[in-house]
Copies of this chain bind each other. A is one copy, B any other.
Amino acid sequence: MTEQREAQIDAPEDEFQLSQRDLDSINKAIDEGDGPALDALMEPMHAADIADLIEQLTAPRRRSFIDLYSGEIDGDILTEIDESIREEVIEQLPREVLAEAVREMDSDDVVDLIEDMEAPEQQAILAALDESDRVAIEQSLTYPEYSAGRLMQSEVVTAPEHWTVGETIDFLRQEDWLPDQFYHVVLVDPRRHPAGYVTLGKLLSSRRNVPLREIVEDSFRTISVRQDEGDVAHVFNKYHLISAPVVDEHDRLVGVITIDDAMSVLDEEHEEDILRLAGVGDDSSISDTIVETTRQRVPWLAANIVTSLIAASVIALFEETIARLVALAVLMPIVASMGGNAGTQTLTVAVRGLATKSLTRANTVRIVRREMSVGLVNGVIFGLAMGGVTFLWFHDIRLSLVIGMAMIVNLFVAALGGILVPLGLDKVGADPALASGTFVTTVTDVVGFFTFLGLATLVLL
């Protein structure tokens, strides 16, 4: 996409943000302990916006806010609050407000809320629920973290597979436990094996005597309860699913996942990948404190200091050469930096290709070949360029040749490392987004310094 987009779109930038003025008024009401004023200010706000507000308040104001406003904090708001803050909010909520909030929530949201809690706190919340809800949630918690079983809601609208449209509509009109949002009726056989689904649109636009079987969707697809949630999100996006039935190991219907939850997962997974590629702890959040932020970033910087020391010890091998020709010290970071950048380009494409499943066994060989060719072409382009610049700067044709050659070697190695390191990490079951960067820049630093200074030692001395 182009940079024109910002210019072309004239919608107000901050339509979906809290304005500074609103925030000032809210802060004032909190500081003055003015409950009614606060209620009036919050009244028009959507639960997601209230959650954003709670995240953006300073910690002391947040506590005052919850004291003043606690009666109004419901399940919708709790669901939206970022996990890093939520625990703090829950601890401060009166027990009966929390119980009421949880009773309103769909089972997937309750699971999300309590899955990271200690057992006694989990029990306290579960005790507030009806027997059937509690059983469904306890069942969900038996599935692995980040699996479809944790993401699904157990409230599913089903119909026997031999029913007609009219029977189904009559049934829906009688029931009062229906989920807030549902998009399909799942057809099940007597053993609760899903046999297809009918969209509500088809149900509404078909005559009463039409059998459900005749209007099922072609694209029926079930999700295994143990499927990784990232893969679930990928499947939703790829096949444009709106909701999908979840089945257990005996192929029996146990729940349903809806696209809004899949979209949240897709969003989180992307966020994680971006943060991992940048060497930032992937549970970082805008509301983290200085201590939390430092703790997330130090390990990556520590890894980087180790790899830079490796690169430095390569330079140390050539101290004598540098002492004789200091221009080498001036130029050597360019070779390393170009290698690092070219390597990062390739590895990002590889990591994304693996994440989106577009880099598959079927095209790996072709992509590796392409990256190697691109590395070689870039090497020749920038080798010639740096050779030229070096000649203009230092008037030394042999130095030009050395840097040109080193550039070709390092950009080729960068391409090779950029594609092979993520593929290798993926093969052994590690997350390529997490570790590729450190590996690849270490390789390009070491190779860059070694070829440049090594060639210089051979050719120039």
Contacts and interface: CB of A to CB of B under 8 A. Distances in A.
A341 B16 contact: no
Nearest to A270: B270
Copies of the chain in the assembly: 2
A147 B9 contact: yes
A63 B242 CA distance: 34
B259 A242 contact: yes
Interface stretch (A66-74, A123-131, A299-307): A299-307
Given A8-B146, A58-B366, A237 B326 contact: no
A95 interface: no
A334 B312 contact: yes
| Most-contacted residue by chain B among A7, A205, A266 (CB, 10 A) | A205
Contacts of A431: 3, 6
Contacts of A58: 366
B227 A11 contact: yes
A335 to B, nearest CB: 9
Contacts of A280: 345, 348-349
A91 interface: no
Interface stretch (A29-37, A133-141, A173-181): A173-181
A337 B260 CA distance: 41
Nearest to A369: B290
A29 to B, nearest CB: 15
A9 B146 contact: yes
A201 B226 contact: no
A382 B334 contact: no
A126 B1 CA distance: 24
A157 to B, nearest CB: 8
A298 B16 contact: no
A312 B331 contact: yes
A452 to B, nearest CB: 12
Contact of A357 (B17, B144, B200, B326): B17
A132 interface: no
Contacts of A349: 275, 278, 280, 284, 286
A77 interface: no
A353 interface: yes
A344 B15 CA distance: 29
A290 B228 contact: no
A151 interface: no
B226 A1 contact: no
A279 interface: yes
A284 to B, nearest CB: 6
Nearest to A271: B352
Interface in A3-62: 3-11, 14-18, 20, 23, 46, 48, 52, 55-56, 58
Given A3-B434, A226-B9, A273-B274, A48 B330 contact: no
Contacts of A273: 274
A204 B203 CA distance: 9
Given A270-B270, A286-B359, A322-B322, 16 more contacts: A1-B145, A3-B434, A11-B228, A14-B361, A16-B235, A16-B238, A20-B362, A204-B204, A266-B266, A286-B349, A286-B363, A294-B377, A301-B342, A313-B330, A322-B326, A332-B333
23 contacts: A1-B146, A4-B145, A8-B147, A9-B144, A16-B238, A16-B357, A181-B242, A203-B204, A241-B260, A271-B352, A275-B348, A278-B345, A279-B341, A293-B371, A294-B377, A298-B378, A300-B341, A304-B341, A305-B386, A308-B333, A311-B333, A311-B334, A319-B326
